[in-house]
């Protein structure tokens, strides 16, 4: 219960990795602000589950790719928090287009949505919540990337998404340096290929399963990601900042996703 009295906002937290992270922080004593775009029922159900753990929870609708929604979400979260500010911000939400296509084949709106949702919206939400963290001289910011994002390699057929996330790498490192003196740490978590329902499963639930594509030999789980985030949010983790952390089991999503010719 190291985070009693803290409030965390997790974008895209009705399902998947965001949900597992919310449950992990709640068990550490943190109050939770959940966020969803369309999954209202799932978000409200999760808020109820979190409250059974003895902490507060609320769910607000917002699309992080829209500036007006980002501003509204930040205001709602800070008004709801018992302290009037958000202590922990987990930027989990980010649009992704599964269809493989070359950059020239993207529509203009798709390009704008991917960049806004994965880079600009994240920056704007950080910008809105940083003053509150500074005022308390304490804060934790986590950005989401993808495995090996820190290397800035080419990712054919994922050009816009990859460009936004690798831009976020530089922003993560820069913000970490700028805010370290105010007790605010900033990191990026880079998940591997954690598929489908495994995003909401524990390590114990996947430990005996085989994944032939994974060097580790087992599938990744939502807990693999959430437990790293929980550690980074601890008060005693204040000497760690500016890290780009691959949680992949050794899997390389770029190499493995490029079709052979």
Residue-wise pLDDT tens digits, 87-110 = 999 999 999 998 999 999 999 999
For residue 32, is it within any domain? Answer: yes
165: phi then psi, degrees, rounded to nearest 5 = -70, -40
Alpha helices in 63-107, H assignment, sequence order: 67-80
Q: How confident is the model at residue 201 (pLDDT cuts 50, 70, 90)?
A: very high
Question: How far from 118 is each of 26, 167, 168, CA to CA, in Å?
Answer: 25, 9, 8
The answer to whether position 175 is within a domain reads yes
Q: What is the pLDDT at residue 259?
A: 60
Contact 64, 94 (CB under 8 A): yes
CATH of the domain at 105: 3.40.50.720
Average pLDDT estimate for 233-243: 98
CA trace torsion 195, 198, 202, 204 (10° rounding): -90
Residue 261 has pLDDT above 60, yes or no: no
Residue 259 within a domain: no
Task: Work out how many domains the chain is built from and give that number.
Answer: 1
**Start-to-end Cα distance in the chain:** 52
Predicted local distance difference test score (pLDDT) of residue 98: 86
Please check whether residue 113 lies inside any domain of the structure: yes
Q: Average of pLDDT values for 150-164?
A: 92
- 5 pLDDT exceeds 90? yes
Q: Mean pLDDT across the chain, nearest whole number?
A: 94
Q: Looking at the predicted structure, is the pLDDT value of residue 249 above 90?
A: no
Does a structural domain hold residue 82? yes
pTM for the full model? 0.94
The answer to whether the CB of 23 falls within 8 A of the CB of 29 is no
Enclosing domain of residue 53: 7-247
Looking at 37-41, 127-131, 207-211, which range is the least confident one? 207-211
Q: Is residue 254, in this structure, part of any structural domain at all? A: no
The DSSP 8-state label assigned to residue 66 in this structure reads S
Residue 154: CB atoms within 10 A of its CB come to 9
Beta strand spans in 11-79 (E): 31-36, 57-61
> What is the model's pLDDT at position 258?
61
User: Is the backbone of residue 245 left (phi > 0), alpha (psi -120 to 50) or beta?
Assistant: beta
In this predicted structure, which of 97-106, 172-181, 236-245 has the lowest mean pLDDT?
97-106
User: Residue 188's pLDDT is what?
Assistant: 98
| pLDDT per residue as tens digits for the range 144-156 | 999 989 898 888 9
pLDDT reported for residue 224: 96
Q: What is the pLDDT of residue 197?
A: 93
pLDDT for residue 260: 55
Instruction: Encode pLDDT of 68-82 as tens digits.
Output: 999 999 999 999 999
- In percent, the amount of the chain with pLDDT more than 90 equals 84
Cα–Cα distance for residue pair 228/207, rounded to 1 Å: 17
User: Which range among 184-188, 198-202, 219-223 has the greatest average pLDDT?
Assistant: 184-188
On whether residue 74 sits in a domain, the answer given is: yes
The answer as to whether 261 is a domain residue is no
């Amino acid at each position: 219960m190291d985070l009693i009295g803290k409030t965390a906002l997790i974008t895209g937290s009705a399902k998947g990795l965001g949900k597992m992270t919310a449950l992990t922080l709640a068990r550490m004593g943190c109050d939770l602000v959940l966020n969803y775009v369309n999954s209202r029922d799932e978000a409200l159900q999760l808020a109820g589950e979190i409250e059974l753990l003895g902490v507060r929870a609320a769910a607000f609708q917002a699309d992080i790719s829209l500036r007006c929604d980002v501003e509204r979400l930040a205001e709602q979260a800070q008004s709801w928090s018992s302290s009037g500010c958000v202590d922990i911000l987990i930027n989990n939400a980010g649009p992704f287009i599964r269809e493989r296509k070359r950059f020239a084949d993207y529509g203009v709106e798709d390009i704008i949505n991917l960049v806004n949702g994965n880079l600009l919206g994240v920056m704007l939400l950080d910008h809105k919540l940083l003053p509150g963290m500074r005022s308390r001289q304490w804060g934790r910011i986590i950005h989401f990337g993808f495995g090996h994002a820190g290397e800035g390699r080419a990712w054919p057929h994922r050009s816009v998404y990859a460009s936004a996330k690798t831009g976020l790498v530089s922003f993560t490192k820069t913000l970490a340096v700028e805010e370290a003196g105010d007790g605010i740490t900033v990191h990026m978590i880079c998940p591997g290929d954690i598929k489908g329902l495994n995003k909401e499963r524990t390590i114990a639930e996947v430990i005996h399963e085989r994944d032939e594509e994974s060097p580790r030999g087992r599938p990744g789980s939502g807990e693999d990601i959430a437990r790293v985030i929980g550690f980074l949010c601890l008060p005693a983790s204040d000497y760690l900042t500016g890290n780009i952390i691959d949680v992949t089991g050794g899997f390389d999503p770029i190499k493995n996703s490029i079709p052979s010719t």
